[in-house]
């Protein structure tokens, strides 16, 4: 009795006829049921299709906005390795000691220049990165003095190693008389970006012959002329994903070619992402492949587990022990071994010989601290050990939308130094792999961007559960309407609303 009164008071007007009351009740219940069915059956698929239609890279689109001006802050954290005992290494049994110093952290601003769209659903661009030092995030100042091997001397000596005896004698004299040295001490800023005048490079520039190569600058730094450069990284061409979303962000050409030329065969073929865009709707067992100019090669990352970051469930992708292999662990990676070292002198697992993209210098790329590498590399020096927590290369990504949530792209560059009895500066040295620097590209999603990602991921579920609620309301109103019909408890229409008509017994 009480329920009937409340229902009819809420749902119906006393001045309405019974027919009008029935139209109101059954009309509202029908509307609830239709909306509920749409929410349950149609809304999730509609939202998912609409979301995927927004993902391809198009001028003025949402993805384009994030692609041109990344909303997530990115930082470059550089560690340098201070050589503490360069004068003692000729003593038998003394190993070179390197201490990791830093990090020197720089905020990275990245823009894309010369954006050109093509009819075959590709777009080309030239990335420009500018770095700004962040003292509060750093573990040292740019004025820290750091002692490092003198790369120009080591590189030139490596090239001269197989010269005829007489030519090596003249090379040694020129090296000793024109600024050659085993090591030098400069500030962290000079080593990283600023650069310093190098007497030996100046001498080599003046010679400009086949022995010295094409030396373009008499200053030296690890990232010389890199900060703010518009053309250093080259021209990238990627797929927009307009025709096939599974190809969005996939690298097609670099400087107009689909092969780097740094390594033979498949090891030099371009594929994967430039780390700006990733293919969405990725399966749980799929790998991530990225190509960065600094690595001279592609890098594969395998799924290693799940994490929850800012309330978003994601998959963590990591490099593995065979990432920097040259065929020892994985025969398919034999092409990363330089042809002149095949088949029996290839590097042991854990490093990639990058002399082909470092102008012949005996340089190697690996995980920091030679993580996962054959112990022989780390055992040639002392002072630095790998830290698995921070030295692994990983990307934690939400796989449905392809959004990176946490990135730590950690790479170490080392220099192989070996004795040479014909070159004074190298005479009596042990052979060792000198760590030069570690680069960590770090990014983590902000709470503001994470909230947008959560909303995009939850919209299908929100619509589904709202549909369930509407269906429940519709069923309730419909059941109540039938009950009132069966019990004939509709209001009788009256002219004076102040008149109360008693319930019929």
Residues 423, 477: one domain? no
> Strands (DSSP E) along 229-359, which ranges?
236-239, 251-254, 288-292, 297-309, 312-318, 351-353
Residues 51, 16: one domain? yes
The string of DSSP letters for 408-472 reads EEEEEEEEEE---TTSGGGTTPPPEEEEEEEEEEEEE--HHHHHHHHHHHHHHHHHHHHHHHHHH
* 128-164 confidence digits (pLDDT tens): 999 999 999 999 999 999 999 999 999 999 988 888 8
Place of tokens 């601003």: 109
Residues 79, 56: one domain? no
Number of domains in the chain: 2
The whole-number pLDDT of residue 92 equals 86
Residues 51, 164: one domain? no
Residues 131, 151: one domain? yes
Q: Residue 391: inside a domain, yes or no?
A: yes
Q: What pairing do the DSSP bridges indicate for beta strands 288-292 and 183-187? A: unpaired
Residues 359, 436: one domain? yes
- Give 117's Cβ-side CA count (13 Å radius): 10
* 256-300 confidence digits (pLDDT tens): 999 998 998 889 999 899 988 898 888 888 999 999 888 889 999
Is pLDDT larger for residue 443 or for residue 466? 443
Q: Residue 505: inside a domain, yes or no?
A: no
Residues 56, 84: one domain? no
State how far the Cα of 373 lies from the Cα of 325, in Å rounded to an integer: 9
Residues 58, 4: one domain? yes
Q: Residue 453: inside a domain, yes or no?
A: no
Residues 140, 3: one domain? no
Residues 86, 57: one domain? no
Please determine, for residue 497, whether its predicted confidence score (pLDDT) is greater than 60. Answer: no
Residues 100, 84: one domain? yes
Is pLDDT larger for residue 400 or for residue 501? 400
Range of the domain at 428: 73-445
Q: How far is C-alpha 377 from the geometric centre of its chain's CA atoms?
A: 27
Lowest pLDDT segment from 114-123, 209-218, 265-274, 333-342 = 209-218
Q: Residue 501: inside a domain, yes or no?
A: no
State how far the Cα of 224 lies from the Cα of 195, in Å rounded to an integer: 6
Please determine, for residue 485, whether its predicted confidence score (pLDDT) is greater than 90. Answer: no
* 453-465 confidence digits (pLDDT tens): 888 877 766 666 5
Q: Residue 398: inside a domain, yes or no?
A: yes
Please determine, for residue 426, whether its predicted confidence score (pLDDT) is greater than 70. Answer: yes
Q: Residue 47: inside a domain, yes or no?
A: yes
Residues 430, 471: one domain? no
Q: Residue 60: inside a domain, yes or no?
A: yes
State how far the Cα of 150 lies from the Cα of 255, in Å rounded to an integer: 31
The whole-number pLDDT of residue 37 equals 59
Q: Residue 207: inside a domain, yes or no?
A: yes
């Amino acid at each position: 009795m009480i329920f009937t009164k409340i229902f009819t008071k809420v749902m119906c007007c006393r001045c309405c006829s019974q027919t009008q009351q029935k139209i109101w009740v059954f009309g509202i219940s029908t509307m609830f049921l239709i909306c509920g069915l749409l929410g349950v059956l149609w809304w999730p698929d509609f939202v998912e299709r609409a979301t995927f239609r927004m993902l391809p890279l198009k001028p003025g689109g949402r993805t384009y906005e994030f692609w041109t001006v990344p909303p997530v802050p990115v930082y470059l954290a550089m560690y340098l390795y201070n050589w503490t005992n360069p004068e003692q290494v000729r003593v038998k049994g003394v190993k070179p000691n390197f201490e990791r110093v830093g990090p020197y952290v720089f905020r990275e601003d990245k823009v894309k220049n010369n954006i050109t769209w093509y009819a075959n659903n590709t777009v080309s661009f030239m990335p420009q990165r500018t770095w700004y030092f962040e003292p509060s995030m750093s573990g040292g100042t740019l004025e820290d003095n750091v002692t490092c091997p003198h790369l120009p001397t080591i590189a030139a000596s490596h090239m001269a190693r197989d010269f005829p005896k007489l030519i090596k004698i003249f090379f040694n004299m020129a090296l000793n008389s024109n600024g050659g040295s085993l090591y030098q001490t400069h500030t962290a800023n000079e080593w990283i970006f600023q650069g310093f005048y190098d007497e030996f490079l100046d001498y080599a520039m003046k010679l400009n012959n086949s022995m010295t190569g094409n030396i373009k600058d008499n200053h030296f730094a690890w990232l010389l002329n890199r900060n703010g450069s518009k053309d250093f990284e080259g021209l990238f061409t990627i797929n927009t994903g307009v025709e096939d979303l599974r190809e969005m962000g996939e690298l097609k050409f670099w400087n107009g070619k689909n092969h780097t030329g740094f390594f033979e065969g498949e090891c030099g073929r371009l594929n994967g992402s430039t780390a700006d865009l990733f293919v969405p709707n990725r399966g749980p067992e799929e790998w991530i492949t990225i190509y960065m100019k600094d690595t001279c090669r592609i890098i594969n990352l395998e799924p290693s587990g799940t994490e929850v970051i800012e309330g978003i469930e994601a998959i963590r992708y990591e490099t593995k022990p065979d990432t920097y292999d040259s065929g020892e662990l994985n025969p398919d990676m034999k092409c990363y071994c330089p042809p002149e070292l095949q088949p029996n002198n290839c590097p042991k697992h854990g490093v990639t010989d990058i002399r082909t993209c470092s102008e012949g210098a005996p340089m190697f790329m690996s995980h920091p601290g030679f993580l996962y590498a054959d112990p022989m590399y780390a055992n040639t020096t002392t002072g630095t050990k790998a830290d698995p927590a921070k030295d692994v290369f990983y990307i934690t990504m939400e796989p449905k939308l392809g959004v990176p949530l946490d990135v730590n792209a950690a790479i170490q560059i080392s220099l192989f130094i070996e004795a040479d009895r014909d070159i004074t500066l190298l005479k009596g040295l042990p052979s060792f792999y000198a760590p030069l620097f570690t680069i960590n590209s770090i990014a983590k999603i902000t709470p503001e961007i994470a909230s947008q990602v959560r909303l995009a991921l939850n919209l299908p579920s929100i619509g589904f559960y709202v549909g369930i609620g509407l269906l429940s309301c519709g069923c309730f109103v419909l059941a109540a309407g039938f009950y009132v019909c069966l019990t004939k408890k509709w209001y009788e229409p009256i002219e004076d609303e102040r008149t109360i008509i008693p319930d019929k017994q």
